[in-house]
Structures are given as structure tokens and as C-alpha cells.
């Protein structure tokens, strides 16, 4: 199989497409769509988002050092795209997309009620890397929609139909291929067959 060599660029795809909600100290709020986001640390729980300094929400995050990451779904795909291409300087994205601001427990920035998962974050460090500045933040609270809790009290995000972003396109997730560790896990059916009494 032949491969082409391209100039250095961001080819780490797909990525979660999240809506990040922010607010300034005067109570003005906004939503931006971010694909440059990821898990940083388990203990303490931390994540990062990377934002261009010219974005309207950048100054809000810099001022309050707080934001909320809201996971997106197929139902929220249109709003996710809209919040990524329209500026909060021109429109009220909550109003235009019929999204409901909801107060969290730890930060001033509002959560998006329609999102199945809201992650409240407090910025610990800002890395000015170039075109984007990375906000390293500690997760201070997580809110999940009870609709997606199963009978064993396990959260099933897949039922919310989350979406991902890849090269300017949004995709739903496909079928389940396996659970973490399935490649080395012993097959229970084989075990029972081998050792069952005759």
C-alpha cells in the first residue's frame, strides 16, 4: 500500500466535537465549538481545550479562568456547527439555537441543559503555543443526564448518540467493536465448555 508524505499538520482524527460554554464577570455568556480538546490527567482529573486568541470567548475564559465542556450528540449537531461558525459578538447563540443555560455547582459559566454531559472546569495554566492557546483545566464537577443511566446505575453515553469531528465533517459513532481489555480477556464460553462436568 503506497503512502504520500505531507507537510506537518494536525491529522489526529476523529476528535470529540464539544460545545464550550463561557461567561464573563458581567454575566455575558457564549458558546464556542472546540475540536482541539482532550484528556490530560486522571488524578487530579484534568482536560485541555485550545482556543485562538481572536475568538470572542477567549477573553472570557482568560478573565474568569472557568468554562464548561458540553458533550454533543446527533440531535445537537446543527447547533454544534452553528456555534463554531457564528461569533458571539454578533448573535446570542443560546437564543438562536434554542439552548437552555443551566447553572452548575462550581463555576459561573452556564452549562447547556440539552447536553448529556456537562464538565465544569477551572483553568490552572495557559500555554501560548502559537495559533492556539491551550487552557489546562481541572475538572471540578461532572453532570450527567439521568435518562442514560441503566438499571445497574451505569451511564450509557452511547444511547445519547455522541458525535465526532474529522477533517471538517461531523460523524455519528458506529457499532461497538469491543470493550477495553477484550483482546486479552478469556472467553467465558470457552472456559465453561472446557471445565463443565460431564
34-73 pLDDT tens trace:
999 999 999 999 999 999 999 999 999 999 999 999 999 9
Q: The cell 487530579 sits on which residue?
A: 44
Q: Is residue 106 part of a domain?
A: yes
Q: Is residue 118 part of a domain?
A: yes
Q: Is residue 6 part of a domain?
A: no
Number of domains in the chain: 1
Q: Is residue 104 part of a domain?
A: yes
Q: Is residue 9 part of a domain?
A: no
Element (H, E) at 190: helix 188-195
Q: Is residue 52 part of a domain?
A: yes
pLDDT, one tens digit per residue, over 10-27 is 888 999 999 999 999 999
Cell of 148: 442514560
0.85 exceeded by pTM: yes
User: What does DSSP assign to residue 110?
Assistant: P
Q: Is residue 59 part of a domain?
A: yes
Q: What pLDDT, on a 0 to 100 scale, did the predictor assign at position 36?
A: 94
Q: Is residue 85 part of a domain?
A: yes
Segments in 53-176 forming alpha helices (H): 56-64, 77-85, 93-96
For residue 58, report the phi and psi dihedrals to the nearest 5 degrees.
Answer: -55, -50
Range of the domain at 50: 15-195
CATH number assigned to the domain comprising residue 159: 2.30.110.10
CB 13 within 8 A of CB 167: yes
Amino acid at each position: 500500500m503506497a503512502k504520500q508524505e505531507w507537510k506537518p499538520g494536525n491529522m489526529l482524527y476523529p476528535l470529540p466535537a464539544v460545545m464550550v460554554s463561557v461567561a464573563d464577570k458581567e454575566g455575558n455568556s457564549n458558546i464556542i465549538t472546540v475540536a482541539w480538546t482532550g484528556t490530560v490527567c486522571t488524578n487530579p482529573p484534568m482536560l485541555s481545550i485550545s482556543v485562538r486568541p481572536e475568538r470572542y470567548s477567549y477573553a472570557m475564559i482568560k478573565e474568569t479562568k472557568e468554562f464548561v465542556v458540553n458533550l454533543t450528540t446527533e440531535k445537537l449537531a446543527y447547533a454544534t456547527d452553528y456555534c463554531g461558525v457564528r461569533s458571539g459578538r454578533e448573535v446570542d447563540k443560546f437564543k438562536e439555537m434554542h439552548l437552555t443555560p443551566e447553572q452548575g455547582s462550581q463555576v459561573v459559566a452556564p452549562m447547556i441543559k440539552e447536553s448529556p454531559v456537562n464538565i465544569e472546569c477551572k483553568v490552572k495554566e495557559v500555554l501560548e503555543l502559537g495559533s492556539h492557546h491551550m487552557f489546562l483545566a481541572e475538572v471540578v464537577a461532572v453532570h450527567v443526564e439521568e435518562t442514560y443511566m441503566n438499571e445497574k446505575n451505569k451511564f450509557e453515553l452511547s444511547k445519547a448518540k455522541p458525535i465526532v469531528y474529522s477533517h471538517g465533517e461531523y460523524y455519528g459513532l458506529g457499532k461497538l467493536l469491543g470493550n477495553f481489555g477484550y483482546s486479552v480477556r478469556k472467553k467465558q464460553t470457552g472456559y465453561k465448555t472446557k471445565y463443565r462436568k460431564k
